[in-house]
Amino acid sequence: MPALLEFEEAAMFSAEIQCMFLVTGATGGLGRRIVRQLREQNLPVRAFVRLNARYSELEQRGAEIFVGNLLNDRDIEKACRGVRVVISAHGANATGEGDAQSIDYRANIELIDQAKAQGAEHFVFTSVLGADRGYEDAPVFKAKREVEKYLQQQADGLGYTILRPSGFASNLLPLAERFRQTGIYLLIGEPQNRTSIVSTDDLARIAVASASLDAARNRVFNIGGPEALSRDQIPKIFGRIFNREPIIINPPLLLFDGLRGAVGLVSPSVSESLGTLRALLANEYLVTPAEVALLETTFGFQPESLEHFLRRCLGI
């Protein structure tokens, strides 16, 4: 190969490494969408996945697959090599090993340390709306808040964007499929509690753009969709989409608390982790119109409604 060509290839390779994105939780509801959007923009991305996860779609889209486990510090160190931007989109889930302490807290602290040690420029952290409300009984909320504080202390070198989203619209897709078949919607707790459910695709778009926008550097964004929906509006939206009258089953939160107490007798750790779900069921998760307007001006697009997201994803 002529020397000039070799040089050009090496330069291209190093430029690619220079702007490499690392996405953790790349097989999750959010992470998968972030990888898709990065690849649609032809940006190089390393997807941190577990061996047992379903990652072939990411590979087919041209992501570099890094097989590892976030419980393992050595994997985190290796995954961060040559990375310019880290987007943390992982979280402890029912299928995986690890809990709020090890996955939502410790793995993020390790990622931040490694990103910094290896010269990354920007860290996008997926927190949660309400992380700053001080819910004592909700381990994930506490972990998110502590990671936020740690990240904000890394003043030298590593820029950050903290995203605090409300509930993801993609969580509702399996519920919509069940509704399509049965007409049933299970609504635990107060039907009038409101939430600004966010399109998971919009959130992915914001996560990707945060890495390159000055207006997003060292900022915290509360992120939600354009509507404040009471929880009983969700089955009504399903009803409209599938042209079917919803059957709403609405057990009170007290029933959840009773079951959680019973679980606690057998497994205190499971009961503890259910505290996060209780905080989600018992409270409102709203963004203000001013916060939605700030998202629109900063990121340059109008967020889609829940109904639009569902119809688009379900092809209806």
Ligand X SMILES: NC(=O)c1ccc[n+]([C@@H]2O[C@H](COP(=O)([O-])OP(=O)(O)OC[C@H]3O[C@@H](n4cnc5c(N)ncnc54)[C@H](OP(=O)(O)O)[C@@H]3O)[C@@H](O)[C@H]2O)c1
Binding-site ranges for ligand X (CB under 6 A): 25-31, 50, 53, 69-71, 89-93, 95-98, 103, 126, 128, 140, 165, 167-168, 171
Query: Of 119 and 292, which has the nearer Cβ to ligand X?
Result: 292
| Residue carrying the six token digits 């996008």 | 124
For the CB of residue 214, give the shortest distance to ligand X in the complex, in Å: 24
Task: In angstroms, give the least distance from the CB of 14 to ligand X.
Answer: 28
Secondary structure letter of residue 265 according to DSSP = H
CB closer to ligand X out of 173 and 244: 173
Q: How far apart are CA 182 and CA 289, in angstroms?
A: 35
Closer of 98 and 183 to ligand X (Cβ): 98
In contact, 107 and 76? CB cutoff 8 Å: yes
Q: Which residue is nearest to ligand X (CB)?
A: 28
> Which is nearer to ligand X, 71 or 248 (by Cβ)?
71
CA-to-CA distance for 227 and 286, rounded, in angstroms? Answer: 9
CA quadruple 90, 111, 49, 51: dihedral sign = negative
| Minimum CB distance to ligand X, residue 168 (Å) | 4
Give 158 or 280: the residue with its C-beta nearer to ligand X: 280
Give least dist CB 182 to ligand X, A.
23
Q: How far is CA 197 from CA 8, 297, 305, in A?
A: 47, 19, 8
DSSP 3-state assignment of 302?
Answer: coil
Residue 47's nearest CA partner among 68, 70, 22 is 22
Rg (CA), the chain: 20
**Least distance CB 194 / ligand X (angstroms):** 15
What does the alpha-carbon distance between residue 191 and residue 208 come to, in Å, rounded to a whole number?
34
Report the largest interatomic distance among the alpha carbons of the chain, rounded to a whole angstrom.
Answer: 74
Minimum CB–partner distance for residue 245 and ligand X (Å): 27
Of the pair 70, 287, the CB lying nearest ligand X is at 70
